């Protein structure tokens, strides 16, 4: 029986000694016996009539050869290179030289070394809590065995630890700060081993009450700030809306106030246009408008307050020579009379 690791090389021995009675041709044959007895044997390689035939088994093409370059020397051993887990099985060597025949069987087991081993921590790394260190290999033929050791500090596992070599779990009960350090796990089987490490840091319990209180205070402050910003925005919006309404609130049903000067000018301008349309020939029959009839807010009074002013005698100017119509505007003296 042979046990080898995947990727390695194995030599399956097959030596013989010919007798003087063996006179026939020499035949050396290697076959793979299937685990199922219902299946036929598979020829792997053969030496016959001074020739080597190695094209029978495609799964091992390029990975097998006779150990000796001349099997007639009595060495028909077989070399298998770059072993794979599928190469596991029972091999048989047959040596024939009439009338003699000999054979032997060899059990080959190809194992996979542990590989891609990972370490992890499960549980809270706080003082007084239970912590579990886990170790697992993603590759490797069974049976795998796991072993934990402490790398730093005393290099001894804590007294409260419990190791399960089959699962790779190391339980540390009631952890303390002295448990902190680097731990290493070794996964192994009959053909190899692999290792990983992890650091354990045991700390005091976290003050959850302080964290919750801080979170509540922070939330309230955030809400207060948000409410203040909303209030300021609403206030500013109302002020802008009020200013806009004040600037654009025009009462269209109230007429604008009358102007004394504009009223007087409009009335005098109308008389001027009337006079300008007359010729000097018809000026004699024109009757001047009394000053008392000129509309003005300053001269509007009640009937009981109306005063009678004497008419002034003023000579009419020569309109044809001046080319314009004179306009006389009443003036008020110091005693209140019209001049």
Backbone CA torsion sign across 261, 267, 273, 279: negative
Percentage of the chain lying above the pLDDT 90 cut: 48
Q: Which residue has the higher pLDDT, 29 or 249?
A: 29
Whether 65 shows a pLDDT value over 60: the answer reads yes
pLDDT at 28: 95
Instruction: Quote the pLDDT of residue 258.
Output: 53
How confident is the model over 18-41, as a mean pLDDT? 88
Chain centre to alpha carbon of residue 258: 74
**At residue 285, does pLDDT exceed 90?**
no
Kindly state the average pLDDT of the residues 291-318. 44
> Considering the chain, what is the average pLDDT of its residues?
78
Grade residue 94 by pLDDT with cuts at 50, 70 and 90: very high
Name the band, by pLDDT with cuts 50, 70 and 90, for residue 221: confident
Q: What is the per-residue pLDDT for 302?
A: 42
Q: Residue 13's pLDDT is what? A: 96
132 pLDDT higher than 90: yes
- Residues of the chain with pLDDT > 70: what percent? 69
Sequential DSSP letters for 81-111 = -S--GGG-EEEEEEEEETTEEEEEEEEEEEE
Of the candidate ranges 13-17, 38-42, 193-197, 299-303, the one whose mean pLDDT is the lowest: 299-303
Could you tell me the pTM of the whole model?
0.53
Residue 83 has pLDDT above 90, yes or no: yes
At residue 19, the pLDDT reads 85
Q: Decide if pLDDT at 273 tops 50.
A: no
User: Quick one: pLDDT at residue 23?
Assistant: 83
Q: What is the mean pLDDT of residues 269-279?
A: 44
């Amino acid at each position: 029986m042979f046990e080898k690791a995947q990727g390695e090389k194995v030599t399956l021995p097959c030596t013989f000694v010919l007798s003087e009675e063996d006179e026939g041709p020499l035949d050396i044959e290697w076959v793979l016996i299937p685990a199922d007895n219902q299946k036929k044997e598979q020829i792997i390689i053969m030496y016959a009539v001074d020739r080597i035939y190695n094209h029978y088994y495609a799964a091992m093409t390029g990975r097998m050869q006779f150990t000796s370059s001349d099997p007639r020397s009595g060495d028909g051993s077989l070399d298998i290179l770059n072993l794979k887990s599928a190469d596991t099985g029972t091999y048989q060597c047959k040596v024939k030289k009439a009338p003699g025949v000999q054979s032997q069987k060899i059990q080959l087991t190809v194992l996979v070394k542990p590989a891609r081993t990972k370490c992890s921590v499960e549980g809270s790394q706080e003082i007084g809590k239970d912590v579990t260190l886990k170790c697992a290999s993603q590759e490797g033929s069974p049976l795998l065995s796991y072993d934990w050791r402490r790398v730093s500090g005393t290099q001894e596992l804590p007294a409260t630890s419990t190791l399960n070599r089959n699962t790779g779990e190391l339980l540390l009960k009631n952890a303390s700060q002295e448990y902190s350090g680097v731990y290493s796990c070794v996964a192994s089987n009959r053909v190899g081993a692999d290792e990983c490490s992890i650091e354990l840091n045991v700390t005091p319990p976290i003050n959850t009450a302080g964290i919750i209180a801080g979170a509540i205070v922070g939330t309230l402050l955030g809400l207060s700030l948000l409410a203040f910003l909303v209030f300021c925005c609403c206030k500013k919006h109302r002020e802008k809306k009020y200013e806009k309404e004040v600037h654009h609130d025009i009462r269209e049903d109230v007429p604008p106030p009358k102007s004394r000067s504009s009223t007087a000018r409009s009335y005098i301008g109308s008389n001027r246009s009337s006079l300008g349309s007359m010729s000097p020939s018809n000026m004699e029959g024109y009757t001047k408008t009394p000053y008392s009839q000129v509309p003005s807010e300053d001269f509007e009074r009640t009937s009981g307050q109306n005063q009678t002013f004497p008419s002034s005698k003023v000579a009419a100017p020569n309109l044809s020579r001046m080319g314009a119509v004179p306009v006389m505007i009443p003036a008020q003296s110091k005693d209140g009379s019209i001049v």
